[in-house]
Structure 1
Amino acid sequence: MKHPKDDIETNAQNHQKAPLAQVGVRPFYLLSKLDDPELKGRLEQCTNKPFYRTEFALGHRGASMQFPEHSKESYQAAIDSGAGIVECDVTFTADKQLVCRHSQCDLASTTNILANPTLANKCTSPFTPADPASGTPASATCCTSDITLAEFKSLCAKMDGNNPDATTVEEFMAGTPDWRTDLYASCATVMTHKESIEMFKKAGVKMVPELKEPSVTMPFDGYTQTDYAQQMLDEYTEAGVKPSQVFAQSFNLNDIKYWIANYPKFAKQAVFLDDRYDTDNLDPNDPSTWTPSMAELKDSGVEIIAPPLWVLVTLDDNNKIIPSAYAKAAKEAGLDIIAWSLERSGPLTTDHGGWYYQSISKAINNDGDTLKLLDVLAKDVGVRGVFSDWPATVVYYANCIGYSSKMATKEPTKAENLLGKDKPSN
């Protein structure tokens, strides 16, 4: 029987129409730590091969492991490293213009707004220093809805982080986690939603906008949730972007249902971001905790569901990573799956990967386990794509194992078929 490595050359040839990707050193570092000989052998076959853009890799906030999230520089890094789809989280300013931010009220942690006294004074909650005596941490809440679009555009993006022990603004802003880097963050370029559309369109990548939950009470100065959901998709239409190039997403199921009813072409690949684990105590291995059920979601018109990594996997009696009941039920209902977010956890030697790996923590002890999880998501769960803070890792894997330049489909590639035959039994 042919080994999947025999398809590596064919896979590269199939990518010839896709741009080359620069994956850098990160995938090779992870590969050096991988302690699964069989998977390591497969992936080592590709160390000297070219890599190409793939829609299996989604740039989470761009390439936010090394560049300030939702900045022009972060988006470009994601594009250069081979992400075929790049994310702009969408929120709005005081004058109801759409901009790319992960949260409406994260400006104190993701930009330099506090360094501008005029704008800092407009913040919902201005900077308050830490009080060691009472144990009260430093804080500040600055929202895009506190300022106009022009004022937003005057900001610099920085690495997400703050120092809770800070007694000054400067100390508060210097809170980047020690496993990220400020090397490229002196003054990164913030982006409007329209600017992200033009950038992605020019680069030839697809777009995954997320309609963020407003932090302000809606309607906001007469601006309703429906206005907001409509405006986001209208900006793609106005830019001449086909619905097939857009994966609109939201944690709010009502947003998805609004698009299904009013934007059916966009709704065909709208993504329901599932956070019921947080609000409804969803247990990935107990179907009775899933409301609505997978079948009900499918019947309502939902086509793609996107939970966090840990919801899709569990451990068997031998501590081997396997698909969760949630993952199996989603596939059985005919839902496609996108997983989030690889490489957001920091070193996996710390706390066994933390929140994103909580369902499989007993099996996580080194950075190479990133590739183990990715392999299970791809060939056992059968995800359609994977969000990553450093998409080059997913690009390397997708090119090497045999995923096409298109986002993975329900029809397996030749290499995937071989992987299915070659993988050891449970």
Structure 2
Amino acid sequence: MSAPRLASMITALSLAILLAQSLPALARSDGAKPVQFLGAAAQLGPRPFFLVNDMAEGDLKSQLQRCAADRGLYERTSFSIGHRGACMQFPEHTRESYEAAARQGAGIVECDVTFTKDLALVCRHSQCDLHTTTNIVDTELNAKCTQPFTPAEFDADGNLLTAASATCCTSDVTLAEFRTLKGKMDASNPAATTPAEYLTGTADWRTDLYSGPTSGTLMTHAESIVLFKALQVQMTPELKAPSVAMPFDSDGDGVGDYSQEAYAQQMIDEYKAAGVSPVHVYPQSFQIEDIRYWIANEPAFGSQAVYLYDADAVAELPGAAELMSYKAEGINYVAPPLWALVSANGEEIVPSQYALDAKAADLEIITWTLERSGILADGDNGWYYQTFDGAISREGDTLRLLDVLARDVGIKGIFSDWPATVTFYANCMRSAR
């Protein structure tokens, strides 16, 4: 081995040791928990550095620029959570998306869990999204869909009268049939007159480059566990609310035989069967009864269960007393959307009352979803930015938002469609002292 190469390896090893021994700088004097770094090297690509360069001038930009110039090694971190993998560019909940998330430094990766007709658990964001996230409508399995593909209808002048539609659920197909499908970017074309046309419609700020016939590998929940163990990442499965009536009639005899409780237990059982320690698993659900079930029946997993909270307006968010009640019944983690945690004070982004109440209740906070709203500079960033859109004016504000969430709100972690951005920020703040 040449001397320069040996020196380079020694330098990299020394940096890794120093990083492993150093304390995360995201921990604050107010008692917020430190970020966990998992030791594996991350590959960030150009996006985080593009965002830094696009920031408005200020101390945070200067600090991140110094990090970008000086830091040669980035580590995987549990602060960075791969939302459906790295689904800004890779088809969600596919092997390729999960691998990309881990390479970008996500220390936790998500499999959304639902079930097939024969009760196999699989990774899909919704029980009934196969028509927009896979190629099912362009296969023979289209005939088995709850609503097979229906083409768009137009008037004599070419005006759209009825949009193309389909509804295809995992519960419409067996596991063997599910395995024949390919994942694609979540999209559809309302003007489609053929199944092939219906598969198009990907947003112009995403890409179909990784949705080819040899990629888009769908996965079962059990397969995701094996993959995540190999990638050395922690796991955050979300038990998706069924789109079919529960208990589900799995054998077609007209009697429901698969209960919500059995579904919730089956998900945990697959981690136990794989020998995964509960400390590496953060089960999630939007249904509080699932959280309560795990706390009561699988307390080692239930202690890390994440209660996902959804709402469409600030008035719908739980208040201080309700948040305190969550903690009292053993819920330790809440996960509201981004907009619930911050608001705008002129051009400044500040913590919301909900964020202050959640911290006062001693709840750990995880939030979702960064890098999911496309171009920010257009001034209309949609649902995720509804409480603070007036304070957003450029792509680099992604990092300004992240800084407020990390340092002022004190979140435990954040779901992102492109985990490299969060990984970069967490690494830089860790070493900035």
TM-score, length basis structure 1: 0.88
**Per-residue deviation, 1:66:** 1.0
CA distance in 2, matches of 1:124, 1:174: 21
Choose the corresponding residue for 1:123, options 132, 145, 150.
Answer: 145
Residue 78 in 1 paired to residue 101 in 2? Answer: yes
**Per-residue deviation, 1:32:** 1.5
* Aligned-residue RMSD, C-alpha: 1.9
**Per-residue deviation, 1:208:** 0.3
What amino acid does structure 1 have at the position aligned with 2:271?
Y
CA distance in 2, matches of 1:95, 1:397: 43
Contact 1:65 1:343 (8 Å CA) reproduced: yes
Change (3 A) 1:31 1:10: farther
Alignment deviations for residues 273-330 of structure 1 (CA, whole Å, 9 cap, x no partner): 001x24xx5437xx7x5497110111111100001101100122x3310000000000
Name the counterpart of 1:18. Answer: 39
Query: How many pairs were matched up?
Result: 390
**Per-residue deviation, 1:193:** 0.1
TM-score, length basis structure 2: 0.87
**Per-residue deviation, 1:13:** 5.1
CA distance in 1, matches of 2:154, 2:21: 60
Q: Secondary structure at the match of 2:39?
A: coil
What amino acid does structure 1 have at the position aligned with 2:85?
G
Alignment deviations for residues 67-118 of structure 1 (CA, whole Å, 9 cap, x no partner): 00000000000011110000000000000000000000000100011111x2
Choose the corresponding residue for 2:309, options 232, 252, 274.
Answer: 274
CA distance in 1, matches of 2:116, 2:57: 48
CA distance in 1, matches of 2:175, 2:296: 30
**Stretch deviating more after TM superposition (122-131 or 133-142):** 133-142
Structure 1: gaps (5+ residues): 1-7, 404-414, 419-426
Q: For 1:209-220, what aligned pairs fall within 5 Å after superposition?
A: 209-220=237-248
Name the counterpart of 1:422. Answer: none
Name the counterpart of 2:325. Answer: 296
CA distance in 2, matches of 1:36, 1:379: 19
Report % sequence identity.
55
Q: Which has the higher contact order (CA 8 A, sep 6+)?
A: 1
| Bigger Cα Rg | 2
Residue 369 in 1 paired to residue 397 in 2? Answer: yes
Contact 1:86 1:205 (8 Å CA) reproduced: yes
Name the counterpart of 1:3. Answer: none
Choose the corresponding residue for 2:377, options 349, 359, 375.
Answer: 349
Change (3 A) 1:262 1:124: same
**Per-residue deviation, 1:10:** 9.4
Choose the corresponding residue for 1:28, options 37, 45, 49.
Answer: 49
Residue 202 in 1 paired to residue 227 in 2? Answer: no
CA distance in 2, matches of 1:126, 1:380: 48
CA distance in 2, matches of 1:308, 1:169: 34
Change (3 A) 1:12 1:226: same
CA distance in 1, matches of 2:161, 2:52: 43
**Stretch deviating more after TM superposition (364-373 or 190-199):** 364-373
Q: Secondary structure at the match of 1:74?
A: helix
Choose the corresponding residue for 1:42, options 63, 69, 92.
Answer: 63
Choose the corresponding residue for 1:101, options 115, 118, 124.
Answer: 124
**Per-residue deviation, 1:166:** 1.2
CA distance in 1, matches of 2:132, 2:164: 12
Name the counterpart of 2:291. Answer: 256
Choose the corresponding residue for 1:89, options 112, 120, 128.
Answer: 112
Name the counterpart of 1:132. Answer: 154
Contact 1:138 1:165 (8 Å CA) reproduced: yes
What amino acid does structure 2 have at the position aligned with 1:274?
Y
**Per-residue deviation, 1:11:** 7.0
Name the counterpart of 2:194. Answer: 168
**Per-residue deviation, 1:353:** 2.0
Q: Secondary structure at the match of 1:121?
A: helix
Name the counterpart of 1:231. Answer: 266
Choose the corresponding residue for 1:150, options 176, 197, 204.
Answer: 176
Q: Secondary structure at the match of 1:293?
A: helix
CA distance in 2, matches of 1:151, 1:393: 36
CA distance in 2, matches of 1:9, 1:321: 34
Name the counterpart of 2:34. Answer: none
CA distance in 1, matches of 2:279, 2:121: 21
CA distance in 2, matches of 1:369, 1:171: 36
Alignment deviations for residues 144-166 of structure 1 (CA, whole Å, 9 cap, x no partner): 00000010011110111001111
Contact 2:319 2:357 (8 Å CA) reproduced: no
Contact 2:116 2:175 (8 Å CA) reproduced: yes
Name the counterpart of 2:135. Answer: 112
Contact 1:12 1:399 (8 Å CA) reproduced: no
